[in-house]
Amino acid sequence: MTFTIQENITARQVRSGDVFILHGHERTADGAAWPVFGNDVHIRFVGGGDATISADRPLTVTRRVATA
């Protein structure tokens, strides 16, 4: 069984499949955030596009969680 939860995280904690709002648009992460340029992270989006943002930027994400 799979359900979703909402979590408040920082951008450095983004995982593949996380859904969040960035710059007024709903985005889905295509993979985990990875560090670049000091205190920034790079995030690719499902369907194309990407962003480099502060690793400390707060985000509210929706995550799928599987249960046994």
Give the CATH number of the domain where residue 19 resides. Answer: 2.30.30
CA pseudo-torsion sign 9, 19, 2, 34: negative
* Domain that residue 20 falls in: 2-66
User: How many domains are there within the chain?
Assistant: 1
Phi-psi region of 49 (alpha: psi -120 to 50; beta: other; left: phi over 0): left
Is the separation of the CB atoms in 21 and 32 below 8 Å? Answer: no
Predicted pLDDT of residue 17: 96
Tell me the pLDDT band of 20, cut-offs 50, 70 and 90.
very high
Kindly state the average pLDDT of the residues 48-62: 97
